[in-house]
């Protein structure tokens, strides 16, 4: 028989592992107090470095934290040599470049587009969805029509390099996501997710991607789903994800990390706990990559991944630096 004291200490330990029903947990524990200088910008992969620089410039010039995250991720969206975001992104298995993006601000408002074609900057369309419609998410043709109505230009996003890669893939036409594979030749990887906390402590985030290369037509990943690929809570901090979106979607990863931080974990501990959730719940975890980055309101940052090879860029205290994330495997 378990006595009351044993029950309470077991319950406390289980609480950190997320096992206690929410109704029994404190919801207002302070977030981790450690921190760094504000403002801070954090983003996924090496293409985060120029993105962070663009975002920091916006903040320095007095722009809002929302402007900063949008302008930061527009950099890789517009770069044809980055084959995992925006222009030049690898297409789906039918040769169509379909993009997913989301943005979320300090007021809790958010906007997303999914499976949108022909628009170089889906993050800016997501912002328009957030600000100028009663909706949160527009997909496919509807998203494109909305973008065109808003004055965005229709363009061909399939660059010769991306088309060549797709044609090479077509020879075997086997869909098999490879860990850290996207864009390997120049070491630019995957989705860009970028989070910022401005001087006042206001928090925002943006996430944009062409998704998994050679995916099925109509496939949508985690990036445009608020709570999966991106989540912001101005009382706590922000989180974004990269890697195999299906694993992030099945565990609602970014929301989970924010909730772990709300309950007292540091950004680093919270990212690790969310990766552990994938390890415990999803047997396919061994085959795929997932990486999380997080920042709390105090300017403390963290990042963690399932597999080795994930890195992220942090711009803080006048330095814009790439960090290798620790990983579970």
CB atoms within 10 A of CB 61: 9
Q: Where are the beta strands (DSSP E) in the chain?
A: 40-44, 99-104, 110-116, 137-139, 192-197, 203-209, 230-233, 237-243, 290-296, 301-305, 311-316, 319-324, 326-327
Min CB(222)–ligand SD4 separation in Å: 5
From 44, 98, 191, 240, active-site residue: 191
If one asks whether residue 102 binds ligand SD4 (CB under 6 A), the answer comes out as no
Q: Beta 290-296 vs 203-209: how paired, if at all?
A: unpaired
SS3 at position 95: coil
Binding to ligand SD4 by CB under 6 A, coded x per residue (else -) over 2-41, reads: ----------------------------------------
| Binding flag, residue 234, ligand SD4 (CB under 6 A) | no
Q: Under the criterion CB under 6 A, does residue 266 sit at the interface with ligand SD4?
A: no
Residue choice 72, 91, 205, 211 for contact with ligand SD4 (CB under 6 A): 211
At 295, phi and psi to the nearest 5? Answer: -140, 145
User: For residue 283, what are the contacts with CB-CB under 8 A and spacing of at least 6?
Assistant: none
Cβ proximity to ligand SD4, 58 vs 239, nearer residue: 239
Residue 297 beta carbon to ligand SD4: minimum distance, rounded to whole angstroms: 25
User: Which residues, 169 to 208, sit near ligand SD4 by CB under 6 A?
Assistant: 182, 190-191
Kindly state the number of chain residues that form the binding site for ligand SD4, as judged by CB under 6 A.
Answer: 13
| Residue with smaller CB distance to ligand SD4, 38 or 101 | 101
Least distance in angstroms from the C-beta of 316 to ligand SD4: 23
**Tokens 């075997």 map to which residue?**
172
Active site annotation includes 242: no
Any idea what the Cα angle at residue 92 is, between residues 89 and 93, rounded to 5°?
A: 135
Q: How far apart are CA 14 and CA 102, in angstroms?
A: 33
Nearer to ligand SD4, 59 or 179 (CB): 179
Based on the shown chain and the rule CB under 6 A, indicate whether residue 212 belongs to the binding site for ligand SD4: yes
Q: Hunting for tokens 């630019």 — which residue is that?
A: 188
In terms of CB distance, is 182 or 202 closer to ligand SD4? Answer: 182
Helix (H, G, I), strand (E, B) or coil at 12: helix
- Compute the least distance from the CB of residue 183 to ligand SD4, in Å: 9
Half-sphere exposure of 194 (CA within 13 A, CB side): 34
Out of 245, 253, 299, 302, point to the residue binding ligand SD4 (CB under 6 A): 245
Nearer to ligand SD4, 211 or 237 (CB): 211
In sequence order, what are the residues at sequence separation of 6 or more whose Cβ sits closer than 8 angstroms to the Cβ of residue 266? 32, 34, 296, 300, 302
Minimum Å gap between C-beta 50 and ligand SD4 is 18
The binder of ligand SD4 chosen from 86, 221, 237, 302 (CB under 6 A): 221
Confirm or reject binding of residue 209 to ligand SD4 (CB under 6 A): yes
Q: Which is nearer to ligand SD4, 16 or 139 (CB)?
A: 139
Closest listed residue to residue 106, CA positions, set 236, 265, 293, 223 = 236
Residues paired with residue 302 on neighbouring β-strands, in sequence order: 294
Mind giving me the DSSP string for 131-181?
Answer: HHSS-SEEEHHHHHHHHHHTTPPP-----HHHHHHHHHHHHH------TT-
Q: What's CA 108's distance to the chain center, in Å? A: 16
Residue 67 vs 182, nearer CB to ligand SD4? 182
The minimum distance between CB 245 and ligand SD4, in angstroms, equals 2
Q: Which of 70, 117, 202, 222 binds ligand SD4 (CB under 6 A)?
A: 222
The catalytic site residues sit at 191
Q: Which residues bind ligand SD4 (CB under 6 A)?
A: 182, 190-191, 209, 211-212, 221-223, 242-245
């Amino acid at each position: 028989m378990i006595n009351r004291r044993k029950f309470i200490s077991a319950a406390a330990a289980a609480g950190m592992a997320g096992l206690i029903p929410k109704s029994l947990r404190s919801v207002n524990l302070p977030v981790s107090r450690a921190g760094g200088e504000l403002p801070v910008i954090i983003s996924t992969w090496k293409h985060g470095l120029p993105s962070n620089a663009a975002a920091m410039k916006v903040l320095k010039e007095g722009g809002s934290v929302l402007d900063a995250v949008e302008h930061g991720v527009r950099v890789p969206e517009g770069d044809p040599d980055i084959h995992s975001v925006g222009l030049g992104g690898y297409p789906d298995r039918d040769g169509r470049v379909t993009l997913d993006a989301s943005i979320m601000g300090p007021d809790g408002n958010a906007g997303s587009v999914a499976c949108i074609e022909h628009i170089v900057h889906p993050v800016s369309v997501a912002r328009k969805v957030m600000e100028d419609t009663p909706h949160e998410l527009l997909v496919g043709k509807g998203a494109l029509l909305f973008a065109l109505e808003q004055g965005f230009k229709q363009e061909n996003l399939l660059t010769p390099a991306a088309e060549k890669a797709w044609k090479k893939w077509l020879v075997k036409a086997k869909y098999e996501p490879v860990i850290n594979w996207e864009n390997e030749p120049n070491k630019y990887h995957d989705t860009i997710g970028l989070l910022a906390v401005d001087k006042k402590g206001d928090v925002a985030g943006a996430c944009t991607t062409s998704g998994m290369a050679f995916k099925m037509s109509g496939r949508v990943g985690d990036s445009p789903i608020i709570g999966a690929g991106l989540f912001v809570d101005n009382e706590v901090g922000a989180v974004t994800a990269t890697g195999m979106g299906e694993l992030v979607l099945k565990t609602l990863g970014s929301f989970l990390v924010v909730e772990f931080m709300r309950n007292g974990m540091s950004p680093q501990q919270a990212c690790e706990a969310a990766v552990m959730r994938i390890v415990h719940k999803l047997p396919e975890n061994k085959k795929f990559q997932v990486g999380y980055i997080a920042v709390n309101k105090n300017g403390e940052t963290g990042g963690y991944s399932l597999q080795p090879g994930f890195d992220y860029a942090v711009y803080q205290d006048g330095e814009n630096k790439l960090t290798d994330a620790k990983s579970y495997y």
